[in-house]
Amino acid sequence: MNRSSVAISGAVAILFLSGGCGGCVTARYQGSKSDHFDGMRFFNPDNAAERTFAEFLKWQFTRQTKDWPEDPSAYGKPLPPDAIVPASFDGARDFAKVTFINHATVLIESPGLNLLTDPVWSERVSPVSWAGPRRFRPAGIPFDGLPRIDVVMISHNHYDHMDLPTISRLEASFKPLFLVALGDRDLVRSAGVPADRIVENDWWDRRLVQVRGPGDPVEVHFVPAQHWSSRTSFDRNLSLWGGFFIRWTRGSIYYSGDTGFGGHFKAIRERIGSPDLAILPIGAYEPRWFMREQHMNPDDAVKAHLELRATASLGVHWGTFQLTDEGYEDPVRELTTALKSRNVSADRFFVLREGASTGVMSRQSTHDARAALGAGVGDPGP
Ligand SMILES: [Zn+2]
Ligand SMILES: [Zn+2]
């Protein structure tokens, strides 16, 4: 077992010891039963494949974790160049600017409205500050370098997505609106956010968010994902998980949150539409026998991109925290392979270096630009 495995196992041991009284579980959400809620716990309607504690132990004792370098600065070397689209943003052309902070933290800036996905600036993603998966690379923008943040979207309560110290800092600095999943309000309140600025969401809920200054409100939909939730060993699936689909008058961005590949991508396209940019996880996927149901690998992510008929996709959730067994560069390398095998051009599904930005233009603008370049007219395709 290498150093990283030891760290992760230590955090896991803490996690399993930190839950308090197992018989004292109380519901975090009180509401009607649905196709993904049994009155106490949430579940995945299409795929009930739950990993058992025995399977978890099997993974822990058989895992073959690839080493990540001891020295994070070793990662300063360039990533595979054909997997990267150079940063570009054109304020006249693009309706939004998207900046990769790292892991699943993405800054979305648009006129009168700045949003963050799953903000994490802490050094570790763990129940405790002194153990657990540690950060291998610094955030692409230091916390103090953030612009004003209006909306924080938190997809689920895993530590690498809901970081309470970061939430406290965001609250102190910006007093934003927090959009969370059903059952997560009290956790966010515990970080010092007043209840009236925390909005819990069920799948397919739609919120209208007013922008600062003139401009149409922005629609934010909470949409299904195939995943799970927990903060301790005793609160599994007491809160929901999901993704966000944000729609401006001029275009749309979808952030999937953590998810396995499933029928929800097609359902989202059919109910809401195809996004101009999909932000999809490409890391935390090995070993497949354990992770497949709840974490996509790069090939699954390319399939999701195609199912969504997204104009472009950005790969996230890799290279920051070592959560699973694949190596640091494997997600990007395997993304390149998957794009080739599925005949998707590299400029349609890319990764960004931390702190780098890309502009997002509307589908119509993409259509016009491609037509002007003589690149063909019609559906933007894969
Ligand atoms: Zn997760
Ligand atoms: Zn995650």
* 160 Cα: distance to centroid of ligand 2 (angstroms): 5
What does the pLDDT read at residue 71?
A: 64
pLDDT band for position 327 (cuts 50, 70, 90): confident
User: For residue 321, which ligand has an atom nearest its CA?
Assistant: 2
Evaluate if residue 12 carries a pLDDT over 90: no
Cβ(277)–Cβ(310) under 8 Å? yes
Q: For domain 3-20+60-372, give the CATH superfamily.
A: Ribonuclease Z/Hydroxyacylglutathione hydrolase-like (3.60.15.10)
Q: How far is CA 249 from the centre of its chain?
A: 23
Which of 267, 247, 244 shows the shortest CA–CA distance to 256?
A: 244
Q: 225-267, pLDDT tens digit by residue?
A: 999 999 988 899 999 999 999 999 999 999 999 999 999 999 9
Among 64-68, 140-144, 205-209, the range scoring the smallest mean pLDDT is: 64-68
Global pTM reads 0.89
* 230 Cα: distance to centroid of ligand 1 (angstroms): 9
Pairing assessment for the beta strands 349-350 and 357-360 based on DSSP bridges: unpaired
What does the pLDDT read at residue 13?
A: 42
Region 26-49: mean pLDDT is: 90
How many percent of the chain have pLDDT more than 90?
61
What does the pLDDT read at residue 17?
A: 40
**Residue scoring higher pLDDT (54 or 249):** 249
* 154 Cα: distance to centroid of ligand 2 (angstroms): 11
Tell me the CA distances in angstroms from 305 to 101, 107, 191, 265, 319, one per residue in order. 21, 20, 35, 9, 21
* 286 Cα: distance to centroid of ligand 1 (angstroms): 14
* 331 Cα: distance to centroid of ligand 1 (angstroms): 17
- The dihedral over CA atoms of 104, 331, 279, 291, expressed in degrees to the nearest 10, equals -70
Containing 354, the helix (H) or strand (E) segment is: none
User: For residue 284, which ligand has an atom nearest its CA?
Assistant: 2
Q: Which residues contact 380 (CB under 8 A, 6 or more apart)?
A: 309, 311, 363, 366, 367, 370
* 258 Cα: distance to centroid of ligand 2 (angstroms): 5
* 214 Cα: distance to centroid of ligand 2 (angstroms): 36
User: For residue 225, which ligand has an atom nearest its CA?
Assistant: 1
* 283 Cα: distance to centroid of ligand 2 (angstroms): 9
Among 56-60, 71-75, 377-381, the range scoring the smallest mean pLDDT is: 377-381
- Nearest-angstrom CA–CA distance, 188 and 110: 25
User: For residue 226, which ligand has an atom nearest its CA?
Assistant: 1
**For residue 60, which amino acid is it?**
Q
Containing 109, the helix (H) or strand (E) segment is: strand 105-110
* 158 Cα: distance to centroid of ligand 2 (angstroms): 7
* 119 Cα: distance to centroid of ligand 1 (angstroms): 13
Kindly state the tokens that stand for 88.
């570009």
User: For residue 120, which ligand has an atom nearest its CA?
Assistant: 2
Q: Indicate the burial class of 33 (C-beta count within 10 angstroms; 0-12, 13-18, 19 or more).
A: exposed
User: For residue 259, which ligand has an atom nearest its CA?
Assistant: 1
Q: 170-201, pLDDT tens digit by residue?
A: 999 999 999 999 999 999 999 999 999 999 99
Region 29-34: mean pLDDT is: 95
Pairing assessment for the beta strands 218-223 and 243-247 based on DSSP bridges: antiparallel
User: For residue 157, which ligand has an atom nearest its CA?
Assistant: 1
**Residue scoring higher pLDDT (74 or 111):** 111
- Give me the residues near ligand 1 (ion), CB cutoff below 5 Å: 158, 258
Domain boundaries, the chain: 3-20+60-372
Cβ(102)–Cβ(136) under 8 Å? no
Region 322-340: mean pLDDT is: 89
Mean of per-residue pLDDT scores for the chain: 86
* 159 Cα: distance to centroid of ligand 2 (angstroms): 8
- Nearest-angstrom CA–CA distance, 359 and 276: 11
* 273 Cα: distance to centroid of ligand 1 (angstroms): 25
